[in-house]
Amino acid sequence: MHYQKEIPYSVEIEIESFKEEKAIIKIRAVIHVTRDSQKGIIIGHKGSMLKRVGTEARRDMEGFFNKKVFLELYVKVTKDWRDKPLILKRFGYQ
């Protein structure tokens, strides 16, 4: 929705941690891409796109959970993850 360039189809989101406390939920997520050029597309100029998408996702989650959400997003290049059975299994694919 916010990206001028097409988002790479080989993007996977992995939730590394999800901690629910009384008044806040803390989520740490990694966005896996297969190439450095894809990482640049996701992050955007000076991190602007990642911040924008993260802010919007956080607001949506706050509405869903009815709690404050602290969202940490990271982008990582995991070369050829779609061709590696162990990584696919870790992501929940069979």
pLDDT band at 4 (very low <50, low <70, confident <90, very high): low
Spatial separation of the C-alpha atoms in residues 10 and 12, rounded to whole Å: 7
Q: At what angle do helices 36-43 and 48-65 cross, to 10 degrees?
A: 60
Q: Does 6 fall in a domain?
A: no
Q: State pLDDT tens for residues 61-72.
A: 999 999 999 999
Q: State pLDDT tens for residues 29-76.
A: 999 999 888 898 889 889 998 999 999 999 999 999 999 999 999 999
Pairing type for strands 12-20 and 24-33 reads: antiparallel
Q: Does 81 fall in a domain?
A: yes
Domain carrying residue 52:
12-90
Largest distance between two CA atoms of the chain: 41
Of the candidates 73, 14, 78, the one whose C-alpha atom is nearest the C-alpha of residue 43 is 73
Q: Does 2 fall in a domain?
A: no
Report which secondary-structure segment, H or E, holds 74.
strand 68-77
Give pTM, 2 decimals: 0.83
Residue 78: both structure tokens together: 């995991």
